[in-house]
Structure formats: structure tokens, C-alpha cells
């Protein structure tokens, strides 16, 4: 399996798991599934998280990065 592939999302339909989107996994690939309980995030919180992730990816693509030690120091200062 491609290590960069996004997690697969499926729903149970008539007792079978049905993927929500097509996948590029090879025919016959074995996939282990584990049910996940929902999180406590509201739709607004989840949307804000996804927007923050998109912004971070844009910053990364523009080379607007900081050293990991600096990032950790900033996080520790927030405690």
C-alpha cells in the first residue's frame, strides 16, 4: 500500500463495507479495518482544523518553515 495514501472511509451497507470513493489499491490487496468512534469535534471545529492544515501545507510549499526545536519551544511556552 502506498504510504502516502489517505485513510480509506467506508460505510456498512447490507452487512458489507462499501468504500465512499474509488481506490488505486491493487486487486486482491488485503486491508485491515478497525471501527473508529466519532470524535468530539463540532462541524465548525473540524472545518477550522482542516483550514489550519491547508494553511500549514501552503506555508510548507512556500518554504515558510521554522526549525523543529523552535516550534517545540513555542508550544512549551503556551503551557
Q: What is the pLDDT, as a whole number, of residue 4?
A: 43
Distance CA 65, CA 6 (A): 23
End-to-end CA distance of the chain: 39
Residue 3 has pLDDT above 60, yes or no: no
DSSP H or E stretch at residue 18: strand 16-19
Domain ranges of the chain: 10-77
C-alpha cell of residue 30: 488485503
Cβ(10)–Cβ(36) below 8 Å: no
Q: What is the pLDDT, as a whole number, of residue 56?
A: 92
Q: What is the pLDDT, as a whole number, of residue 20?
A: 86
Amino acid at each position: 500500500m502506498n504510504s502516502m495514501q489517505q485513510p480509506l472511509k467506508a460505510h456498512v451497507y447490507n452487512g458489507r463495507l462499501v468504500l465512499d470513493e474509488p481506490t488505486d489499491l491493487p486487486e486482491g490487496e488485503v486491508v485491515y479495518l478497525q471501527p473508529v468512534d466519532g470524535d468530539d469535534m463540532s462541524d465548525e471545529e473540524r472545518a477550522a482544523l482542516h483550514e489550519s492544515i491547508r494553511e500549514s501545507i501552503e506555508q510548507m510549499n512556500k518554504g515558510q518553515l521554522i526549525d523543529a526545536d523552535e516550534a517545540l519551544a513555542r508550544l512549551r511556552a503556551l503551557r
